Amino acid sequence: MAVEVGSIVEGKVTGIKKFGAFVQLPDGKTGMVHISEVSNEYIQELSTVLSEGQQVKVKVMSVSPEGKIALSIKRTMPRPKPTRADTGKVWQPRQQAPQGDLSFEDMMAKFKSQSEEKISDLKRVTEARRGGGYSRRR
């Protein structure tokens, strides 16, 4: 039986290193599962998750011209749903009231007046922090 990329097979863990685990496939060939392909969770020490002699289900990721076989355990499992902590806070634009039947010129005029109001408010606050109006040094 030839190893085909994308196939999922059962294998036996034959060795564990810091960077990954070696798995013997049914046809007698050995492939390697990199530590990043073992679980969807972060793994500090591979020996806490896998042990020699353990039967595992692996997916064949690639076969190099030299015959090296890259395997994955985590790709045989269903992908976990992202939690709010995983996604972080994502920026979303504010929902504005529908503009109705305003023309482009009307929307631009409205935007310009709102913008001028914001700038005047900002100038007023900034001048208040400085202690009054602008005075020129002599």
| In a domain? residue 24 | yes
Q: How far apart are CA 9 and CA 57, in angstroms?
A: 6
| In a domain? residue 82 | no
| In a domain? residue 34 | yes
Query: What's the CATH number where 58 sits?
Result: 2.40.50.140
Mind listing the pLDDT tens digit of every residue in the chain (138 residues)? 578 899 999 999 999 999 999 999 998 999 999 999 999 888 899 989 999 999 999 999 999 999 899 999 999 988 777 666 655 666 566 666 566 677 888 888 988 999 999 998 888 888 888 776 555 555
Handedness of CA 36, 38, 40, 43 (dihedral sign): negative
Q: How far apart are CA 14 and CA 51, in angstroms?
A: 9
Domain count, the chain: 1
Per the structure, the complete domain to which residue 20 belongs is given by 8-77
| In a domain? residue 67 | yes
Q: What is the pTM of this model?
A: 0.57
